[in-house]
Amino acid sequence: MRKLRNSELNRLDVEGFKKAEKVPLIVVLDNIRSLNNIGSVFRSCDAFLVEKVILCGITATPPHKDIHKTALGATDSVAWQYEEDCLEVIEELNARGVVTLAVEQAENAVMLNDFEPEPNTIYALVFGNEVKGVQQKVVSACKAVIEIPQYGTKHSLNISVSAGVVLWDMFAKLKAKNTWNLE
């Protein structure tokens, strides 16, 4: 087997990405302090054709060299916006009919492997601060909570790892349901 060169991967350019049909997913970052984590989330959002990233609270915004270091240009392709108050964002998304899901460890959380997204539904996935997680008031405002099952000794995953895991899972489940065209 031979590794493929980047030129053989047939990836979209930035303009092609912007024109492509997106997966019905919005990512909300609630007070993420690490610029490298922010950049990494952007890169995962680019990989899975996420509709938009909403940066809230202390979450830094592009352009910034430390975000760029891990995003590798994904801040140019993925749509994003900044909003100060994450709770207001969740309330507005709920009012628009978007299904808001906190990614957190909480009572009555649905394990990610058991969660089945509905077709023709837009989901907003809320990821929280590296230490404190998603704010309780934001968790309470979300329609549901999904949790990544973990079986080792640690209590959590890094936020950028969590985002990658959840985005891949949602992407795969939505693609399997043929809820949008991937061309």
pLDDT tens per residue across span 59-95 = 999 999 999 999 999 999 999 999 999 999 999 999 9
What is the reported pLDDT for 28?
99
What is the reported pLDDT for 29?
98
The H or E element that residue 25 is part of is strand 23-30
- Segments of the chain scoring below 70 in pLDDT: 179-183
Gap between the Cα atoms of 102 and 148, Å rounded: 11
What is the reported pLDDT for 69?
95
Prior bond to 63 cis, omega within 30?
yes
> Which letter, b or e, does each residue of 79-109 get, where b requires 16 or more Cβ atoms within 10 Å of its Cβ?
ebeeeeebbebbeebeeeebbbbbbbebeeb
Position 175, amino acid: K
Looking at domain 26-149+157-176, its CATH superfamily turns out to be SPOUT methyltransferase, trefoil knot domain (3.40.1280.10)
Return the number of other C-beta atoms located less than 10 Å from residue 115's C-beta.
18
Q: What is the pTM of this model?
A: 0.95
Gap between the Cα atoms of 148 and 179, Å rounded: 23
Spatial CB neighbours of 152, under 8 Å, sequence gap ≥ 6: none
Alpha-helical segments (H) within 32-146: 35-47, 65-71, 74-77, 86-95, 136-141
What is the reported pLDDT for 176?
85
Of 2, 64, 8, 3, nearest to 38 by C-alpha is: 64
